[in-house]
Chain A
Amino acid sequence: MRDVAVLGVGMYRFGMYYDVSNATMAREAGMAALRDAGLSFRDVNAAYVGHIFAQVMSGVRVMKEFGLTGIPVQRIENASATGSAAFREACLQVAAGHADVVMVLGFDKMTTMIQQSTQGTAPENMEDAILPAGFFALWATRRMHERGMKAEHLAKIAAKNFNNGALNPMAQRQADTFITPEKVLGARMVAWPLTTMMSCPMGDGAACAIVGRADLAKKLRPDRPVVRVTASDLQSEKYARGHLFMGPVVGPAQMTIDTSKNVYEEAGVGPSDLDLVQVHDAFAIEELEYYELLGLCKVGEAEKCIEQGDFERDGRVAVSTDGGLIARGHPGGPTGLAQIWETTLQLRGEAGKRQVENARIGLCHMMGGGSVCVIHILQRD
């Protein structure tokens, strides 16, 4: 990725907002990002909108909130990886020289889905017979069988993420006491061995990133470090034995391995250079698997590394520093951009109580419906 920087970031805190519209959340996150960049909407050359549960023309509709300046607007959708995929398109635009400043705006409202849901009592299709929690639980059960993983390992990951989230004012779930693995294990069972506290919540929210030419970053905000996007890759699933063709699939492992290999090569860094990592931890088993698939630890050693506290905020490499999907929340479209928000603040040294000391290089990883993997590497100059 040539000379692309994150100029600004903004968020509308993830939560349950029955009375707040998508347009309001998106506008506030977008204006926050513009203010953070030191720009006005007049300076934006193009916009990408990440929105999953979309009406027709929902990209253009929400951009009207900011003003009618004639810029190209496109909506990108890739399930949970929607915001990350939109961010990638914006970076490519800048890298290609088509635009100097691009807005990437993600928003979604799962409370609307809950209200509209009929709470059916039977699947309508073969594909409907298993819930997402079930897919990931199947991954966990297999890991228990193959590697001796225990529910306690997953509980430790979730507890870490809750405690990180408690330091993040934008996080949806704010624990008022220190969360222990025992508390996570004692929560209601969703799909054995995953409890509610090992699973991300439903929610609403918005997040925005302004990306642009790296030299602009220096000009606009000479007071702070430039955060560059040094690598971006997106891959879809590739056939392997054991691939599931019916319904959504769960993270074909090779897809994350291949995507991360590409970004490490593009950025010229290795996993041991990373100071912080955000992963798709919709369920705690995912975070555990991604430690290995992203090369943060050797295959088969995730359990040992969790026991050692390697991925805590003050550990070898901090993972899910903002609380991850589990505590920060996962409304859909904005989630990947919330990762960019967190990583950008961390690399600027502006992450407050959850700041990772001297953070220089961060990685953001999202999965879309198990079938798409998007990874970015951000680096401070």
Chain B
Amino acid sequence: MTTATRPRVPIKPGYFTIPDDPGLPPKLLGTKCQDCGEHYFPRRAICARPECLSEKTSDVELGPRGTLYSYTFVHLPLFGSSNLEHAEGYGVGQVDLPEGPRVQLPLAGKQGEFRIGQTLEAELNTLREDGGSDIVIVRFRPVEAGR
């Protein structure tokens, strides 16, 4: 993890935190239903479970670790493989968070480094510069043994 020299700005506000300490992982911003206890990402105002539909929801932070449910490597240049990873395609995955939600986000690492069921941790990835700021998105990277 390198030290951020420029301010980091989320690609879209309200989806994840940007810790002051650049060494710390971001957390996803989700919702908890106060009636049935279900968690959601991204945030929502009304519980989606058909048997609940409660409006009593509150903001929570989710993650930053989760379990890999599925993954792939996308080889199309659209949206910029260079921004998201390397020339061998960029990884995207579905990650089950311990609170319940499954999220679908870019992955950090090469294809051979992933296996379903492994633990991943969220990190911020700079997509591009904008003025003096870094525009960042969340991606997940495998947690190495002993880390």
Q: Is B83 on the interface with A (CB-CB < 8 A)? A: yes
Q: In the complex, are the beta carbons of B104 and A121 less than 8 A apart? A: no
Residues in chain A near residue B4, CB distance under 8 A? none
Q: Is A175 on the interface with B (CB-CB < 8 A)? A: no
Find residues 189-230 in chain A having any chain B CB closer than 8 Å to their own CB: 189-193
The complex places the Cα of A123 from the Cα of B125 at a distance, in Å, of 12
A115 to chain B, nearest CB (A): 15
**CB-CB nearest in chain A for B16:** A126
Find residues 117-163 in chain A having any chain B CB closer than 8 Å to their own CB: 119-126, 128-131, 133-135, 137-142, 145
Find residues 299-339 in chain A having any chain B CB closer than 8 Å to their own CB: none
Q: Is A245 on the interface with B (CB-CB < 8 A)? A: yes
Q: Is A243 on the interface with B (CB-CB < 8 A)? A: yes
Q: Is B58 on the interface with A (CB-CB < 8 A)? A: no
Q: Is B133 on the interface with A (CB-CB < 8 A)? A: no
Residues in chain A near residue B101, CB distance under 8 A? 245
Kindly identify which residue among B42, B79, B94, B103 contacts A123, using a CB–CB cutoff of 8 Å. B79
B58 to chain A, nearest CB (A): 17
Q: In the complex, are the beta carbons of B12 and A126 less than 8 A apart? A: yes
Q: Is A18 on the interface with B (CB-CB < 8 A)? A: no
Q: In the complex, are the beta carbons of A121 and B83 less than 8 A apart? A: yes
Q: In the complex, are the beta carbons of B116 and A145 less than 8 A apart? A: yes
Q: How large is the interface on A (under 10, 10 to 19, 20 to 34, 35 or more residues)?
A: 35 or more
Q: Known interface pairs A122-B127, A244-B103. Does A238 touch B50 (Cβ–Cβ under 8 Å)?
A: yes
Q: In the complex, are the beta carbons of A138 and B104 less than 8 A apart? A: yes
Residues in chain B near residue A126, CB distance under 8 A? 11-12, 15, 42, 105, 137-138
The complex places the Cα of A145 from the Cα of B67 at a distance, in Å, of 14
Residues in chain A near residue B48, CB distance under 8 A? 239, 243, 245
Residues in chain B near residue A119, CB distance under 8 A? 77-78
Q: Is B34 on the interface with A (CB-CB < 8 A)? A: no
Q: In the complex, are the beta carbons of B89 and A189 less than 8 A apart? A: yes
Q: In the complex, are the beta carbons of A190 and B79 less than 8 A apart? A: no
Query: Can you list 9 pairs linking A and B with CB atoms under 8 Å apart?
Result: A121-B128, A124-B11, A142-B70, A142-B94, A189-B73, A191-B74, A191-B75, A238-B50, A245-B44
